[in-house]
Structure 1
């Protein structure tokens, strides 16, 4: 007896099943928004404004900033707010957008492949 419970209706056995995470590529603005949202360690009441972030990342990309630099900007931002937390009434996405020029300047000055633990 053939057990068809483990596959989706109409799925092809020869093709691998595509999961939601495997469709994400690293070099897209939505992947950057996903990375930002995933890095937040705040309560669910703090929502991320994906539209504003994606516009910010698109503008940065149009000005010549690489995706790896934008990932480093996100990582640096969350490193900074772990060191000095934001006030409770400030949304993280808005603070990131306001600090983007300083973050970009820091990332371009420290563009070596340094680990987060080495940041000062």
Structure 2
């Protein structure tokens, strides 16, 4: 069972910058305030930690494939929460959300690539 302390989201400065960057990328496509987008990001991170009985900080220690799968799962949770947050989203909005998340995931891959070398 994951401890209550682990449910607190502890992220490094570079991870905070990454979350902020992802929020900015998503906000370019989706008309939602940046602060709301960040709040949803942290909610997704917390939910991932509960599901996986693990902390977000452990992702950087995972083998690259497992780490990317963890990030994909976090993005899936994030997108799910965002879609539920939108009031009566139309299919067009869902497509925009999907495109925005694809672009944000590319940003994550570029970030990982820079920090692996």
Instruction: Provide TM-score, normalisation by structure 1.
Output: 0.37
The answer to which structure has the higher helix fraction is 2
Q: Please identify the structure whose Cα radius of gyration is greater.
A: 1
TM-score norm. by structure 2 comes to 0.38
Identify which of structures 1 and 2 has the higher relative contact order when contacts are C-alpha pairs closer than 8 Å and 6+ apart. Answer: 2
